[in-house]
Amino acid sequence: MTKRTLHFLCFLGVFMPGLCEKSFAAFNGERLFSGAPFSLILPSKISENGAPEKILFSGISRQMSGQGLFNPPPAKAATISVMTFNIRYPNPGDGTNFWPNRKALVASMVRFHSADLIGVQEAFRSQLDELGQMLPEFAWTGVCRTDGSMQPRPDNEFSAIFYRKDRFKLLDGQTFWLSETPDQAGSKGWDAALPRIVTWAKFKDLYSGDIFYHFNTHFDHQGNTARRAGASLLLQKIQEIAGVLPAIVTGDFNARPEDPPIQILTDPRAPLHLLDAFHVSETPHHGPDGTWTDAFQTPGVPGQRIDYIFVKKGIRVLRHGILSDTWSGRLPSDHLPVLAQVVIHDPKNRLVTATKK
């Protein structure tokens, strides 16, 4: 980086004030502030003897208190848009809502709402492949719930995590089963009707350097005991895998906020509890309060919020919404996607990640 470039970036507010102070002192620059407007003298180039030739920027009106030049709101690059989306398995019995007629709508939701991370549920391998073709900027990680493979025969459900390839580096990831034997592929737990899984990924944010975890799941639709025990197991595993590092949890939990599984996950008296992004968002929730559509009939049945984004302490939620976009009445899935914009803001995170790489 040239000296001129460094000074220009300081002027734009890209670098922190301390770095700019040192830079300006080194290059004999001056900064002059006068109330809200200010004048700024910067080197325009470095002369042969090493002294800066100066150029004056003046009359730039910018409030220097509150959210001023050197105390900006979170940069867009620092935010992460997280989505959870049950995309509905490819069932020919859905008629006009069969997957081939919906896949472009699903991809459009991801694209238009600028999601960076997406936890999907009910996704068969064939659907993952098609979404990968329509969204080439994403990669995904995960295995099938029935056998723990990436090429199941016959095809079945993944709880995969999609991530932007130019934004995140996948450091690690695995899948465990919501059962008494979580390491046994295909195992069904308690009174569950089907095998249920949690896929997790450890990411490095290439923009900020932060390291964090993403857990994605789909709880059973029938087993009450399985959902309660699965919630307890999920909390235990998050602590075991992520430890003190930030974690995001997405999923279709087949439970409403007042139901036992969600109460277990969010009980503030429990030291390992999660925070519901719906409630801790700094901006009021956007959209309907339900995520179930009653089989493609209603864009958000009131009182039927069963899809969630949770966070651990150390993650700030800026916005939260349940997205009820339709195409002339057509929905992209029988669940509405949920979107949250988050910032990993724990100041201890970079120190911790430096010791855990």
Q: What is the pLDDT of residues 113-165, one digit of tens each?
A: 999 999 999 999 999 999 999 999 999 999 999 999 999 999 999 999 999 99
Whether pLDDT at 47 is above 50: no
The average pLDDT across 348-352 equals 47
Tokens of 270: 């429990």
**Which run of H or of E encompasses 128?**
helix 125-134
What type of residue is 84? T
Q: Can you list the positions of beta strands (E) in 223-272? A: 247-252
Sign of CA dihedral 311, 157, 253, 277: positive
287: closest CA among 343, 226, 339, 342? Answer: 339
CA distance 112 to 205: 22
CA distance 143 to 129: 13
Residue 30 near residue 52, CB atoms below 8 Å = no
Whether pLDDT at 18 is above 50: no
Task: Identify the bridge partners of residue 307 per DSSP, sorted by sequence position.
Answer: 252
Sort 355 into a burial class: Cβ within 10 Å, 0-12 / 13-18 / 19+: exposed
Would you list the DSSP string of 8-20? HHHHHT-S-HHHH
**Coil vs helix vs strand at 188:** coil
Note the pLDDT of residue 5: 53
Residue 313 — pLDDT band, cuts 50, 70, 90? Answer: confident
33: closest CA among 65, 67, 74? Answer: 65
What residues contact residue 4 under an 8 Å CB cut-off, 6+ apart?
43, 44, 45, 46
What residue ranges define each of the domains in the chain, with the CATH number in brackets?
Answer: 3-61 (no CATH), 76-356 (3.60.10.10)
321: closest CA among 284, 282, 276? Answer: 284
Whether pLDDT at 50 is above 90: no
Whether pLDDT at 295 is above 80: yes
CA distance 137 to 196: 28
Whether pLDDT at 20 is above 70: no
**Coil vs helix vs strand at 156:** coil
CA distance 126 to 90: 9
Length of the chain: 357
Residue tagged 């199941």 (tokens) = 152
CA distance 46 to 4: 7
Per-residue buried b or exposed e for 244-272, using 16+ beta carbons within 10 Å of the residue's own CB: ebbbbbbbbbbbebebebbebbbeeeeee
42: closest CA among 70, 7, 69, 13? Answer: 7
